[in-house]
Amino acid sequence: MKVVVCVKQIPDPADPGALDPETRTLKRDVKLILDESDSYGVEMALQLVDAAGEGEVILVSMAPNGERSGLATALAMGAASAILISDPELVGSDALTTAKLLATAVKDQGADLIIAGSESSDGYTGVVPEQIAGVLDLPSVTAAKSIEVDGSSIKVQRQTDGGYDDVTCPLPAVVSVTAGVVEPRYPSFKGIMAAKNKPVEEKSAADLGFDASQVGWAGAGQEIIEVTDAPKRQAGEVIEDDGEAFTKIVAYLENMKVI
Amino acid sequence: MQGMEISSRNLEAMSEPLRPKQENPRDFLDTDGLLAEDEVMLRDTVRRYVGDKILPYVGEWFDSGEFPHKEVSKAVGDLGLLGMHLDGYGCAGSSAMMYGLACMELEAGDSGLRSFVSVQGSLAMFPIWAYGSEEHKQEWLPAMAAGDAIGCFGLTEPDSGSDPSSMRTNAKQDPGGDWVLNGAKMWITNGSIADVAVVWARTDDGIRGFVVPTDTPGFSAPKIERKVSLRASVTSELIMEDVRLPSEAVLPGVASMRGPLSCLNEARFGIAFGATGAARACYEAALDYANSREQFGGPISRFQLTQQRLVDMMIQVQRGTLVAYHLGRLKDAGTLGPAQVSFGKKDNVAMSLRVAREARGLLGANGITTEYPVIRHMNNLESVYTYEGTNEIHTLMMGQALTGHAAFS
Ligand SMILES: Cc1cc2nc3c(=O)[nH]c(=O)nc-3n(C[C@H](O)[C@H](O)[C@H](O)COP(=O)(O)OP(=O)(O)OC[C@H]3O[C@@H](n4cnc5c(N)ncnc54)[C@H](O)[C@@H]3O)c2cc1C
Ligand SMILES: Cc1cc2nc3c(=O)[nH]c(=O)nc-3n(C[C@H](O)[C@H](O)[C@H](O)COP(=O)(O)OP(=O)(O)OC[C@H]3O[C@@H](n4cnc5c(N)ncnc54)[C@H](O)[C@@H]3O)c2cc1C
């Protein structure tokens, strides 16, 4: 069982970078860490390989400046190796370009399953996993809360507003995993030490067969035109309790159609 | 991607003179810069574990005087923190520095948690690892490293504290070779929850250590109640009435006070780090509180007196951190002497008590509740001040190192 997990390395949400006023994209001049949204996918992949009794988890990440801190965390959790796509030419790449590069890097790995997060914690467009599936022409299942391997297919419980759907899907496939559905393990001391010797293969755009016009700002089909602050929260409606406040609250909730 | 763009800007910026970066109130001197990448990673992992699994609950454990030892011991075993600085037999084989960093984060959670790990690793596993027979090691170390078996260390007695060589607990070998152990130990961390006790006793050929399974007939370990310090930690009496042990129960590797003292030296090293972690937690609680608590029309952090208190705390915590890191490097280089360990134990614990008390005052009335971590740390540190060699005993050890005169008796 070979599982590839797409992991994004992002600025620490506790210490986020600012927006660049010129490009209107996020500055990444701080240390990057493993996106928590992707730690669930790593955990699920490790559990699947454990359950299968054989195989390995391979990471793939696209990140600036040859950043490896987030990969180191996932390797310390137990992944076997990583592919890092990093290249100054990739500055300005949009989600589709990102997906193409990730898909190309994954293509020759012979993966039975490709796992990604449902959405990242910094960009959260929530489109990269499906785009990867599109590029590789693989079936795609979104919002998984559990994955079970059954021979050459998987059974996925797919989170919905009302509960979950049971979905069966042939392998290989791309599955995006909902945040919070498993408890990611802490890297152990032994894992941390072992991670130092695990291979991380770094690839440039050219290594993956892309030229400068296809990636970065030049290749981006999307442009961020404007960034505005979220509207300030309005002051709430205050209901004074004159003994009858409950009728007003009930009326308010009925009006919102929540009861 | 954006970061790469930043990197090209960084290249342009290289020709400009380096600007000093903004000081981080939580690591003013950038002591993190003294750590290697894997050290930071281990430290951050333990910090995350403590934040997720300890801090939300430890106030209640302290209130009720309970310590969920089964869950905690498994979790810290899985993290690889039990006996982590020992090699082989399922132990992680880490550097001393890493062991210290783990202690620092555990004690930033609670001194009881750090005590649990110190006793297991440095006081119970260490003597088995250093002085035990191959059978002792095989039987106990892997289970203890995994957190499946818990150990304790019995040295102190009701009438024998700072002067452990006055101990009365004794072991006599009968003609068949069996040892018979009699006596009482006092203030023993993990005693009532232990599967195995390393008990030090007087014999015809000096002080010897015994590996005592706690289900041996004649052995009991009642819990000491009514503590107002280290409440999220089990402290017990060990009572031994004709405890009969096979001849192999004795630790073959040592027959003098050097045995227990070498264990204490290991644990004290961790305390120099741990106490600093508790002090850091108190300082950070005080800093957050000062910035959010408003009196006289604004945050109390805008008063000069408050700033002086915060700055004093910060300086003490940073100094303690530097001392601890330095001791860590010396220990890994193999040159750390016992009186240098005394420096770290005595000074960092005294420092952390001062910081905890100042922080307690700064939190006003809220500072006396266990809703906030400060008074819990403050009370805990009173135990840390006393155990593993009191403040005075470490002063005497350094005094002896300075003058050549032993002033213990
Ligand atoms: C014009 C334009 C320019 C941009 N320039 C930059 C730039 O210079 N630098 C920059 O960082 N961003 C840039 N972005 C944003 C960037 O394209 C997206 O953040 C990125 O493509 C992923 O989108 P997302 O985070 O919304 O992914 P989502 O679809 O929300 O992510 C879902 C999952 O996909 C996987 N995934 C997503 N991204 C990665 C990755 N990089 N590596 C591995 N797995 C991944 C993860 O498993 C993740 O959980 C730019 C966007 C636009 C429109
Ligand atoms: C919570 C807790 C957990 C503990 N866990 C363990 C454990 O797991 N295993 C274990 O064996 N022990 C343990 N101890 C015991 C601890 O190590 C002793 O309490 C400590 O060594 C001091 O001994 P004492 O309490 O008998 O004090 P005493 O030795 O009676 O000292 C009383 C006072 O006299 C001072 N004093 C003593 N001698 C001198 C001197 N020569 N010159 C000047 N002043 C002196 C001391 O500094 C102290 O202030 C624990 C204690 C506590 C509080």
pLDDT digit string (tens) for B16-59?
445 567 889 999 999 999 999 999 999 999 999 999 999 999 99
Q: Do A91 and B81 touch (CB under 8 A)?
A: no
Q: Which atom of ligand 1 is nearest to the CA of A63?
A: 41
Residues B370-409 have pLDDT tens digits of 999 999 999 999 999 999 999 999 999 999 999 999 999 9
CA angle B67, B72, B77 (to 5 degrees): 145
Nearest to A189 among B4, B48, B92 (CB): B92
Largest CA distance in chain B: 84
Q: Which of B6, B48, B98 sits opposite A28 (nearest CB)?
A: B6
For B90-229, list the strands marked E by DSSP. 91-92, 151-154, 170-173, 179-189, 196-203, 206-213, 219-220
What tokens were used for B128?
A: 């088995």
**Span B139-156, pLDDT tens digits:** 999 999 999 999 999 999
Give the confidence band of B4 by pLDDT, cuts at 50, 70, 90.
very low
CA separation for the pair B38, A189 (Å, rounded): 9
Q: What is the pLDDT of residue B18?
A: 55
Q: Which residue of A has its CA nearest to B99?
A: A189
Q: What is the pTM of this model?
A: 0.90
Structure tokens at A185: 């393990």
d(CA B375, CA B359): 9
Residue with tokens 């939580």: B26
Q: Whole-angstrom Cα distance, residue B215 to residue B150?
A: 13
3-state secondary structure of B154: strand
Task: Decide if pLDDT at B3 tops 60.
Answer: no
The phi, psi pair for B116, rounded to 5°, reads -55, -50
Structure token digits, residue A38: 């992707």
Q: Which of A26, A86, A87 sits opposite B2 (nearest CB)?
A: A26
Is B81–A189 a contact, with Cβ atoms under 8 angstroms apart? Answer: yes
Q: Do A91 and B8 touch (CB under 8 A)?
A: yes
Query: Residue B253: what are its φ and ψ, rounded to 5°?
Result: -85, -10
Are B3 and A28 in contact (CB < 8 Å)? yes
The pLDDT of residue B5 is 41
Amino acid at position B320, single letter: G
- CB-based burial of residue A29 (10 Å sphere; 0-12 exposed, 13-18 middle, 19+ buried)? middle
pLDDT digits (tens, 9 = 90+) for A102-133: 999 999 999 999 999 999 998 889 999 999 99
Under DSSP, is residue B255 helix (H, G, I), strand (E, B) or coil? coil
Based on the residue annotation, tell me whether B388 is a catalytic residue of this protein. Answer: yes
Closest Cβ opposite residue B1 in set A90, A188, A192: A90
How much distance in Å is there from the Cα of A181 to the middle of ligand 1? 22
Q: How many residues does chain A have?
A: 259
B239: CB partners within 8 A, 6+ apart: B184, B219, B220, B221, B222
Determine the pLDDT at residue A25. 82
The domain defined by A2-219 folds into Rossmann fold (3.40.50)
Q: Which tens digits make up the pLDDT trace of B166-223?
A: 999 999 999 999 999 999 999 999 999 999 999 999 999 999 999 999 999 999 999 9
Secondary structure letter of residue B270 according to DSSP: H
In chain B, % of residues over pLDDT 90: 94
ipTM exceeds 0.90: no
**Which residues lie with the beta carbon below 6 Å from any ligand 1 atom?**
A 6-8, 25, 28, 37-38, 61-62, 91-95, 98, 102, 116-117, 119-120, 122-129, 220, 222-224; B 1-3, 5
Closest Cα to atom 48 of ligand 2? B390
Nearest CA residue ID for atom 47, ligand 1: A116
pLDDT at B73 over 70: yes
Task: Evaluate if residue B8 carries a pLDDT over 90.
Answer: no
Tell if the CB–CB gap between B5 and A20 is shorter than 8 Å: yes
What's residue B20's pLDDT? 63
Q: What average pLDDT does the structure give for chain A?
A: 93
Query: Per-residue pLDDT tens for A187-240?
Result: 999 999 999 999 999 999 999 999 999 999 999 998 888 888 888 888 788 888
Give me the mean pLDDT over the B249-278 stretch: 96
**Among chain B residues, CA nearest to A91:** B1
> CA of A153 to nearest chain B CA: how many angstroms apart?
32
Query: Which one of A189, A197, A224 makes the best mutation probe of the B interface by having the most chain B beta carbons within 10 Å?
Result: A189
Interface of A with B (CB under 8 A): 20, 23, 25-29, 32, 62-65, 67, 69, 72-73, 76, 86-88, 90-93, 98, 185-193, 196
Of A11-15, A71-75, B52-56, B386-390, the one with minimum mean pLDDT is A11-15
Ligand closest to the CA atom of residue B184: 2
Predicted pLDDT at B392: 98
The pLDDT of residue A30 is 76
Contact A89, A216 (CB under 8 A): yes
Of A109, A127, A137, give the one whose Cα is nearest residue A176. Answer: A127
